[in-house]
Amino acid sequence: MSNDGYSVGGSFGGAFGGGMGGGMGGGAPTPAASARPAASGDVIRDVTTQDFRASVIDASSERPVLVDFWAPWCGPCRQLTPALEKAVTEARGAVVLAKMNIDEHPEVAGQLGIQSIPAVIAFKNGQPVDGFMGAQPESEIKSFIERLTGPAGPSEAETYIAEAETAREAGDLGRAAQLYGAALTQEPENGAALGGLAQCYVAADALDQARQVLEAAPETVAKDHPAILAARAAIELAEQAASLGDLAELEARIEADPGDHQARFDLAVALSARPDKKLAVDHLIEIVRRDREWNEDGARKQLLQFFEAWGAKEPATGYGRRKLSSVLFS
């Protein structure tokens, strides 16, 4: 899915009643406070012996410069460089990454006494102030950068997503979808934004569009990102609920026979897509209480799907976890 797929006036208009304005290019909401991420070309560059003074020493008077000493034959360098580039890009202009190939430009590394690579030296106000050697995980690189610059605030995409979550919790699906779309124009593969946008479509009973959004998620994100997994569970739950037909018939069956677990189970699934989700929890808890082994522990497993699809912020999720714990461990 291209960024055009997130345009508000186009694909969102049908699902949310067209009350969301024009395309993202002109009508995207402005986040409360956030600097626009710097383009990678502005903060990541190759340096040579000839331009080292200008690109590192002099430039470090404006903001810290990390010099990555590497070589094409160095395996750990190939591990470290992508993590470095990601962390520097996410720092949104607070630092610069200068990459120096020591095979082509060995002089500076020799002057600094660097004997093994990868090595990263941070320059600030014209002086080397910190550094590390060897491949490091992203978390350590981020901590290293924050020691130089202070903690980074939320990115523009993160700000959009936070505002989108607030709007979705308030039931304003149109604004939530617009904000998720704005986040995706900044970070097209952001799992939280993709999952949140899909959830908006699920809530609007536009399951085909929800599936299309999830299909845009890269495999690495789609496999285990919590927001993507939650959206997928919500789609499955909505499909189950839509297939169950008349609730009055299920209610009548339960009234006639409180031990009709299948009718109670089906009613719970149908209710899970409605406002009173706690009632759906109560019906499944009743099955667990009466017959834990029914349908191969099906009631408890269905509750877990509810929790995944609803998300941790849904009050019925906390309510259900407490009720389930009470039944299982009392």
Among 149, 168, 189, which residue terminates a domain? 149
Same domain for 211 and 295? no
User: Is-catalytic flag, 77?
Assistant: yes
Residue 157 CA, distance from chain mean position:
10
Among 241, 273, 306, which residue terminates a domain? 241
> Which one is catalytic: 20, 77, 94, 164?
77
CATH number at 74 reads: 3.40.30.10
CB 8 within 8 A of CB 25: no
Q: What is the pLDDT of residue 16?
A: 57
Q: What domain count does the chain have?
A: 3
φ and ψ of 187, to 5 deg: -135, 90
Q: What is the pTM of this model?
A: 0.59
Nearest to 287, CA basis, from 279, 299, 297:
299
Across the range 187-207, mean pLDDT stands at 93
Nearest to 159, CA basis, from 27, 37, 41:
37
CB 159 within 8 A of CB 171: no
Same domain for 22 and 162? yes
Nearest to 311, CA basis, from 154, 163, 169:
169
Q: What is the pLDDT of residue 109?
A: 92
Same domain for 111 and 17? no
Residue pLDDT, tens place only, 83-114: 999 889 888 888 999 999 999 999 999 998 88
Rounded CA separation 103/23 (Å) = 49
Task: Give Cβ neighbours of residue 116 (< 8 Å, ≥ 6 apart).
Answer: 133
Same domain for 69 and 98? yes
CATH number at 302 reads: 1.25.40.10
Higher pLDDT, 181 or 154: 181
> Which one is catalytic: 74, 87, 95, 177?
74
Residue pLDDT, tens place only, 176-190: 999 999 999 988 889
Same domain for 11 and 159? yes
Same domain for 47 and 123? yes
Structural domain harbouring 106: 40-149
Same domain for 222 and 130? no
Same domain for 216 and 254? no
CATH number at 8 reads: 1.25.40
Same domain for 29 and 170? yes
State which H helix or E strand residue 120 sits in. Answer: strand 119-124
Residue pLDDT, tens place only, 237-272: 999 888 887 889 999 999 999 999 999 999 999 998
User: Is-catalytic flag, 74?
Assistant: yes
pLDDT at position 13 over 90: no
Same domain for 13 and 50? no
Q: What is the dihedral of CA 199, 203, 205, 211, to 10 degrees?
A: 0
Among 241, 260, 277, which residue terminates a domain? 241
Higher pLDDT, 46 or 29: 46
pLDDT at position 2 over 90: no
Same domain for 183 and 209? yes
Same domain for 128 and 186? no
